[in-house]
Structure 1
């Protein structure tokens, strides 16, 4: 058996217990022993060397780590110890900061809606050349949380005065609000795509009550996704696209810890088996 860890924050684990236990069960079928570790049980440190303790017990270096914590420090620590981490620390670092994600992807020629990277401590809002409405997003939000549609300057001022973070992004509203396409990527290969939409909100997230259906990518859309996944190694992510007024893709964000509920709803595929099989193939 090859030993590995599955790392979650406790709150996320409690919401995703089915997926976590399916991962561990499927691991046994692939001769992988996968131990669940919650971040509030985990201590990272160094003395003569880097070390990890779990529940106050120093542990041996795992061969691999499935990092579902969104924490790049955890990923980096295990990588420096020599473990294979899914997703890599680079992907976790980039994809859990929406500003950095856009800088990384847009700098490589991928179009998105117009976006401003804002820090409350130094960005002069009066110098931003924009019209309303605007979408405000926390840089580290996920699942549609901390995303707000603002109709005027007063609404923007009020929201940022009480915003919990100094950093956020502002975006123009796309031509088809309430609809997006999520493309699931496994091992830098397109696994499937789904269309998410809402008839009552500009946010299409399934976890917030949006609808979902299978989506067939056109050849041009496949080429666009292919261009993004050539930038780095993605193990298992969701790449999200908004649609302009003509229905063309506009890059939106990349989910590092991507959920699988929409895949299971739209397709007859064993997502966990595919993911664990991929992990096993990377360890040979």
Structure 2
């Protein structure tokens, strides 16, 4: 099951088919596909990265949102794209569980993990358990108690089934016994907009996506899914510290289609190393509440393999979702 990621980790130094254009890459615009709706966590990360890469590599890097099916549509389009470096993917950690979900549902997976070559991890943050600021629940215990008192009353939103907002909430429900109904959306931003409008009552939001709402006082965080205190929210408890055995990290990363020439991969890796060291970009991500937590391709490939094992195990525990 995990041979694919091990192959990527071992094969990063292997040169793929060398295109004549690789030496001058990029020679034209590059598309970064975000497989979620505009305004969500991945989109908020992709746009400053695209802008910085464009300045570094002297060509436009254009963000294209292809939301739907929890990210499957956009991810699948990149998996099938020509491996020349002109179509890239900026995805969240939910990518790891989607092929397993397809197998669970008796479908042929829309893509396999070995169809992507990791370039770099950009951020890695635990999700936040959030509610509207005017919600009656001031703690996780109160939210859980309310859900058990009326199992039909509370809904939570996500960016799609088995995605990076769905998995942590289902982990939390299993750990707490909370009765909260899942409502999938086309991306994280539409889910949070629905939370603000009162259509749903809670969500597992990425730090970067929730920060604006938190700073404006429109949203309240009850806890996070991390294992250590958050620098941006040091007083916010973790679910584990409250006695709920639920942990989840929502990372973001840049990928290319597998088979991209080694020269192109190297060029992208070198550019990513340079831009993430820029104070301006670091400040941009810090202001989002999601500081850069960079990993270069070899280290990230190893990390991804281990994380994929955890995520796929969680998908199997959730089981088939109609």
Normalization by structure 2: what TM-score?
0.32
Report 1 or 2 for greater relative contact order, CA contacts < 8 Å, sequence distance ≥ 6. Answer: 2
TM-score (ref. length: structure 1): 0.35
